[in-house]
Amino acid sequence: MNSAGHGSGGVADPGHDVAMHLIPILVLANDRLHAVDVGQMLGAQHALDLAARHCGAAIEQQQAIAEAACERQVMQHDDDSLSALAAGAQQLHDPQLMHRVERRDPLAASYRDARLYLNPPPSLGGLLIHLTLDLLSQQRLDGVCFGSLAHRHLLASAMRLTQDLRAATGDTGLDPALLGRYRALMRGTTLFRRGTTQISIADADGNLASMTLSNGEGAGYLLPGTGIMMNNMLGEEDLNPGGFHQWAPDQRIGSMMCPTLVAHAGGGWSVLGSSGSNRIRSAIVQVLSNLIDLGMPLHEAVDAARIHVENGTLNLEPPCGGALVDALREHWPDILAWSAPSVFFGGAHSVAIAADGSLSGAGDGRRGGVVRRV
């Protein structure tokens, strides 16, 4: 069974800032977890083959094939071709280093009584999702009604503290002492004061794969002789807050993409991820919280109305009645209440294997998600 859909990308700056990007894949096969970054040059079909058709021992074979393909394609554009990039483009001093399969252990984390396996560094998404859930775990949500003032205020507070902590430490790591202070702030939180695609797969043998693929919208520049268009990820403000023409050479760009696997305490697994630029992490956090904290069935956890905090603004998906908005406004003065569900809030296409082996799926209707059993 697989669940998939599409999304939208960021801002293009043709002919100037360009950077190669990666396809992150998280795979469970033969009781082993694999986190694999596949160079964008390989394309979606190679990534899908790696994720869905050749699990387990065949990953080593696919890795060798992928590396050979990268080497062949890198040879097609020599140093002269690279130097022909438009003025201001990022020069890749050693292109081979940017086009290879990287195999890493997933970022393992605990949330409540569940075990999570997230996209590891150099991805930023997994770390930030882990941080938000860590902060959220400082509050009890069992018995909290979904969509209530308490529920949305606590989610929004965890998201805001995550943004504040990231701004204070950057993406190079978290100071444990500083994290402890932010945990204390969360414990003190009370009510009284187009471009990205997610594919989630599960099969009857218990193999799982979650893949998030982003092409951006293209930088308007083709690598000579390859037919490959460079992406526009340096136009993503959340990934490149310094703006155009400020990216340091030979520095790999991060990503908010975070394919995710969840091992539930009562047995069974959930497979998810999301599109949505900087809303990726808030979409995944809320689906995970709906599943783990509130015990929602998968389709309800995905379909449930979402929130997103950005630059001090609390975005609310409907239903959000006037009384709820007024109560929230005491804590969140800047509120944007949306009139309908929107692609803005991500596309968390998900599948699950229950403890009894039964399969289920939920395509996120915000981004045209569908579920297929094959």
Residue 196 is a catalytic residue:
yes
Instruction: Tell me the three-class secondary structure of 90-146, residue by residue.
Output: CCCCCHHHHCCCEEECCEEEEECCEEEEECCCCCCHHHHHHHHHHHHCCCCCCCCCC
* 198 secondary structure, DSSP code: E
* 53 secondary structure, DSSP code: I
Task: Locate 366 and state its tokens.
Answer: 């915000």
pLDDT of residue 2: 72
Is the torsion defined by CA of 336, 341, 342, 344 positive or negative?
positive
| Mean pLDDT for back-to-back runs of 10 residues, the chain (374 residues) | 58 38 62 60 48 49 55 47 44 52 88 93 88 90 76 91 85 73 83 71 92 77 87 79 84 87 95 91 96 96 95 92 91 91 90 94 86 86
pLDDT of residue 44: 47
d(CA 208, CA 63): 18
- Residue 265: give its domain's CATH number: 3.60.20.40
d(CA 367, CA 4): 9
pLDDT of residue 11: 34
pTM over 0.95: no
Is it true that the peptide bond before 319 is cis, omega within 30 degrees of 0?
yes
Contact 31, 56 (CB under 8 A): no
Per the listing, tokens 């950057």 go with 170
Q: How many CB atoms lie within 10 A of CB 291?
A: 22
* Residue ranges making up the domain that contains 313: 2-372
pLDDT of residue 16: 39
* b (16+ CB within 10 A) / e for 23-42: bbbbbbbeeeebbbbbbbbb
How many domains, the chain? 1
User: Measured over all CA atoms, what is the biggest interatomic distance in the chain, rounded to whole angstroms?
Assistant: 64
Output phi, psi for 151, to 5 deg: -60, -50
Catalytic: which of 162, 196, 197, 260?
Answer: 196
